[in-house]
Structure 1
């Protein structure tokens, strides 16, 4: 379940590539709860992807990050000055309890792909246990807390027991590249990148409305025939640095938020 990712920032803290690479490097840790057996068992893949994306948004909008005097403000600022690397690890049992004892935020899905993303009827969740993802303030690349450093990055993948429902037209969608095969951890990190790029491009009013609604969103694989149109629609596009799984520069996610879509060509799949 490899989940280490980077992409170049394009938000308010953006700098040249040389500046980003020369800056101290930080990483945003995300831990997904995956128990070995039921109950609760593993979550559905789409629920996990959507919950990871929402976890990133919850952190970015938290008062501890937004306010200059907030305890996580400087850590997030330093992280965004470099590469916005995210690493997804998995935990179960006592590992999960130890992770939850560290400062962070746990975001929970609802076990379905439709309801969690407000993306339509017929979830495809199949009664799976809701996804649980805990996001932590950024840490130095080589300075992970021991409770997180010992967690596994690879070895587990997730699936959907049924195809996810089609997303509703008014729901933000993070479209995955249909030509790329990604592990669950990799896709979770990429979905988090897409949510973050959308957040950076929204104005204050759109951000406030999205947050007040609980950050509804859907993560779906784009129809193969629509991918080129989506990537050329002027919407935020995540391009991977190529450190894990896929080639450098690969477009992995298009962030299709309705508030961004209004001033751009239609880009629905």
Structure 2
């Protein structure tokens, strides 16, 4: 495919995981998704902004994302690099402008991809019907880091589907969204619904296949086939 022949870039995300206070898994997934949206909606990624060319080059190829973890001094060094930190209830995720696959900044390249196993201390609440939901495939087991990247993919596909006024409304509201795992029956309906579906290429952890479906909310991120007022 043409996008495979184009130069390949990757969007780096770093999640802060301190030994004494790791984030909750669902909050980390949701924060990563909002981090991707925050970068896409940032003025530096638009028009002639400082990140715009890198973002265009990245989106013209495969929208690869890699999540690495940091703590302590590693996190402080990561915060010193050009990017945006997005916070959730317990999670902190920093997103950076896309880089070539083999062109990671040294302070990010040394961070580990493994070790992102996170847990939810309590079952997540029902999602807000006014905001979009990124539904995870119940038949695919992924690490928290991989799931964060897939949630980011789903958020990005939803962003691409929106007209400018809907993007602006979602941005001004702070990109509210939920990430939840669908039931098997719900997943089958979602995949057949015509909503945006993430199809992972299978480069890491899992076999190629569907991982996330993005369903729009009643107020924010209205998507074709999704929930309506």
Q: TM-score range by the shorter chain?
A: over 0.9
Could you tell me whether the CA contact under 8 Å between 1:235 and 1:260 is conserved in 2?
no
Give 2:214's aligned residue.
Answer: 255
- Looking at structure 1, the residues matched to 136 and 175 of structure 2 have their Cα atoms a distance apart, in angstroms, of 18
- Looking at structure 2, the residues matched to 176 and 97 of structure 1 have their Cα atoms a distance apart, in angstroms, of 31
Describe the superposition over 1:60-119 as per-residue Cα deviations: whole angstroms up to 9, x where unpaired. Answer: 0000001x2200000000011111100000000000000000000000001xxxxxxxxx
User: Which secondary structure state, in structure 2, belongs to the residue aligned with residue 59 of structure 1?
Assistant: helix
Q: Does 1:220 align with 2:180?
A: yes
- Looking at structure 2, the residues matched to 213 and 265 of structure 1 have their Cα atoms a distance apart, in angstroms, of 19
Give 2:99's aligned residue.
Answer: 139
Instruction: Work out which of the residue numbers 54, 64, 70 in structure 2 matches 1:75.
Output: 54
- Looking at structure 2, the residues matched to 145 and 265 of structure 1 have their Cα atoms a distance apart, in angstroms, of 39
After TM superposition, the structure 1 = structure 2 runs for residues 123-134 of structure 1, keeping only pairs within 5 Å, are 130-134=90-94
Give 1:104's aligned residue.
Answer: 83
- Looking at structure 1, the residues matched to 129 and 62 of structure 2 have their Cα atoms a distance apart, in angstroms, of 32
Could you tell me whether the CA contact under 8 Å between 2:215 and 2:226 is conserved in 1?
no
User: Which secondary structure state, in structure 1, belongs to the residue aligned with residue 111 of structure 2?
Assistant: coil
Could you tell me whether the CA contact under 8 Å between 2:10 and 2:58 is conserved in 1?
yes
TM-score (norm 1): 0.81
Task: Report the CA distance between 1:257 and its aligned residue.
Answer: 1.1
Give 2:43's aligned residue.
Answer: 63
* Unaligned 5+ runs, structure 1: 1-16, 111-129
Task: Report the CA distance between 1:265 and its aligned residue.
Answer: 6.3
- Looking at structure 2, the residues matched to 156 and 28 of structure 1 have their Cα atoms a distance apart, in angstroms, of 17
Instruction: Work out which of the residue numbers 224, 230, 243 in structure 1 matches 2:203.
Output: 243
Give 1:22's aligned residue.
Answer: 5
Give 2:66's aligned residue.
Answer: 87
Could you tell me whether the CA contact under 8 Å between 2:9 and 2:61 is conserved in 1?
yes
Aligned-pair Cα RMSD in Å? 1.2
Task: Report the CA distance between 1:260 and its aligned residue.
Answer: 3.6
* Unaligned 5+ runs, structure 2: none
- Looking at structure 2, the residues matched to 35 and 197 of structure 1 have their Cα atoms a distance apart, in angstroms, of 31
Could you tell me whether the CA contact under 8 Å between 2:32 and 2:151 is conserved in 1?
yes
Instruction: Work out which of the residue numbers 24, 29, 34 in structure 2 matches 1:54.
Output: 34
Could you tell me whether the CA contact under 8 Å between 2:195 and 2:226 is conserved in 1?
no
Could you tell me whether the CA contact under 8 Å between 1:29 and 1:136 is conserved in 2?
yes
- Looking at structure 2, the residues matched to 72 and 254 of structure 1 have their Cα atoms a distance apart, in angstroms, of 28
